[in-house]
Structure formats: structure tokens, C-alpha cells
Amino acid sequence: MSSVEKKRLRDRRAQQNLRSKRSQHMAVLEKEVAHCREHHDDQGIQRLLQVITDLRKQNEVLRSRQEHLKCLVNSWDASPAEVPANAHEPSDQRLPGLIAIPGGPMNNTDPSSNRIQSSRTNTPRDDSSPSSLLISNSSYGQTSFTQTLPREPPEVDTSLAWEQLPRHDDDFLNPQTISCPWFECPERIALCPESPSSPLDLLYGTKTNYLADMIYKATQRRPIRDPERLAVGWLCYHLTRWIVSPSPATYANIPPFLRPVPDQLQITHPMVLDNIPWPQIRMNLVRHWDLFRDMRDDLFGLFSCCVKVRWPWGESILERNSNNELCIKEKFFETFMSEAGWGLTPEFMQRYPQLLAGVDLGAITYELVDKEFYQGEK
């Protein structure tokens, strides 16, 4: 070979090696970008920032309670004239700007399933009993704090209803006993956003939101329409987020008619019963679940077909917002977020009349046949 041909051969080999190195480097960069998109998205960063904010608030409360304990201990040896007038008041009442954290587990975003299991084994807490005060404050490792409490029981704070979890008999160590399939991985639910980013996640599934995708797969097993699939999925999603991560924010997303009634807080029952939109029917099922346990498949199969949202047939449930993104139509959202927006067809009432004791049948009956629709067809 001549010197020119040898030079051309060397150039081709050098270019080939350069292209090979470049392609390998591009493959490595693509993997790194995919990993960053999967594990370092905006939602993940926002969740971590929220956790940091919550921990800072909890630390402030703990510091204030520590100062309060010091004041109480120092006041034991002081004369009555030297004791400040506000020494026995809770520190979060004397220091404005602090958020009062209840005496249960400190981290509401704890992804473990222990928080859920505790709701099944513990009776609803009565804040007026001395034993509950001892249990509440022992979680901080400060059992001596109960000795300095006033003798009169504190008033019950209704604003803490968000921490009153229903009593469930689902065994999370055995997935076969879980009545709601999406509860198989509570630690993954705790990482999901408080609300789905799009209604399409509940209608067609998603790969970025575990809870929304699991609820979508569960509703796919039943022959229900899109309005019911979206409405039921939305309510189940927010109820699940509250059960896994109880907080005032997650509790506020639950409509009043879906919040637990006293029987749900006192009687152990399957978790799936909490998703029924009518409080009286929920209460009847919780009280008499032993009579329906063996027929649960037929019961929920018929119920899923008979429960309806009072929404005109064929009318759209989605609309586009100012950013041209599909979102739930406001009127449809107001409908299924109200108890009056739900109805039950007569087929279920005729099959299970014992579950409708104490229910206003005229208010919940929903006739599937639309007279106006047939008049339009004629």
C-alpha cells in the first residue's frame, strides 16, 4: 500500500473509533437522564421539601414542649407566688405561630404499614381519659409529663378528627386478606401526590402514579361507565391517601359524606366498606358484615353496577383548562363530591333490602331509564 492509502486507512479507523466512543458516551448519558427523570422529578422534590417542612415544624413543637417541661419542673420547688400564671398552659398556646402536633406518631408521611395496622388494633382514643394521655405522651419518651397535668380532663378538640382512623381487620402481612388491592404496598402510596395530576390517570391508568394506576386496574374488573370510574376512583384515591398518611390536608380532601361515622371507628371491618358513599349503608354493612361476608363477591359485583353518578347520559365529564390540559369539569366535580349526586338503582335495593334500613329510598333511588332520552329518540 502506498503512503496515501495507509493514511486514509488510519483516518477511517480513527473516525470509526471516534464514532464508537461517541455512541457509547451517548448511551451512558441517556441512561443517566432516564434515571434522573425517574427519581428526581419535580413531584419527588416537592414531596421531600414538604417532608423537610413538616419535620422542622415538629422540631419547633418539641422544643416548645421541652421548654414547657423545664418550666413545670422548675415550678415544683418554687413558691406559689413565684410560679408564672401561664406555667400550666400548653406551650403551643403561649407561643404563637407553632402548629400543634397531636401525641400520636410524629411523621404523618411515614410510608410503613404500621400506622395502618395500629388503626385496627387500637380503640378510638378518648382524649378525656388519663390512660389515653399517658399513651399519647409516652410516644415522646416523657411519661412524667402526665403527673403535672391539670386534674380536670381537657376538652375534646373536634379539629383533630383527621387522626381518627377506621378500625380495619385487613392483615397487611397477608396480601390475600386485603380487601382493597391497592393497599398491598402502603409505602408506595405514601410517595404518591395528594391528588392525581390528571383525571386520565384514573380513567386510563398511568406509570407515574402507583395509587391511581392500581385503582384504575381495580375498576377495570367491573363493567362501569367512565363517570362512575372517575368519580369512584377520585374518592377512593383521596380516602386512601388519608388512611396511609393522616393529616389535616389529606383529611380535607375527603367529602363530608365519606368521612368515617362512629361505627367505623369502633367496629372492626374490611377496609373496602369505607368506600361506600352513603354513611347509613356503610353503618349497616359494618354492623352486620358477618351476615354478608360469604356473599361479598356478589354484593360488591352488583353494587358496582348499580351505583351511579347523577350525570346526564353522554355528556362530557372533562374539559380543557387555560393551559389546554384535560381536567374534570367543574359541574361534574361538584356533583360527585356531594352525597346528593349519587344514586342507587332499584336492582340492588330489591336484592339487599336489609342494607337500606334507615335510608331515605326516595333520595337515593336512581332510575337508569331516562324518559327525556326516549322522547328524543321518538
Measure the CA angle with vertex 49, ends 333 and 242; round to 5°.
Answer: 40
Residue 355 makes CB contacts below 8 A (sequence gap 6+) with: 281, 284, 285, 292
**Range name among 46-55, 123-132, 286-295, 309-318 with the lowest pLDDT average:** 123-132
| pLDDT score of 229 | 92
Average pLDDT, the chain: 76
What's the mean pLDDT in 114-129?
A: 40
For residue 326, what is the DSSP state?
A: E
Q: Taking the model in full, what pTM does it have? A: 0.57
343 forms beta bridges with 308
Handedness of CA 349, 355, 360, 366 (dihedral sign): negative
pLDDT band for position 184 (cuts 50, 70, 90)? confident
Instruction: Measure the CA–CA gap between 231 and 225, rounded to whole angstroms.
Output: 10
Q: Domain ranges for the chain, please list them.
A: 161-363
| pLDDT score of 81 | 53
Q: Which amino acid is at 39?
A: H
The set of long-range contacts for 64-70, using a CB threshold of 8 Å and a minimum separation of 24, is 64/91, 64/92, 64/95, 64/98, 65/91, 65/92, 65/140, 65/142, 67/91, 69/142, 69/145
What's the mean pLDDT in 208-235?
A: 91
Contact by Cβ (8 Å): 366, 308: yes
| pLDDT score of 43 | 65
- Of 120 and 74, the one with more pLDDT: 74
- High-pLDDT (> 90) share of the chain, %: 30
| pLDDT score of 44 | 66
Instruction: Measure the CA–CA gap between 160 and 162, rounded to whole angstroms.
Output: 5
pLDDT tens profile 55-108: 888 888 888 888 888 887 777 765 555 545 544 444 333 333 323 333 333 334
Is the pLDDT confidence value at 348 over 50? yes
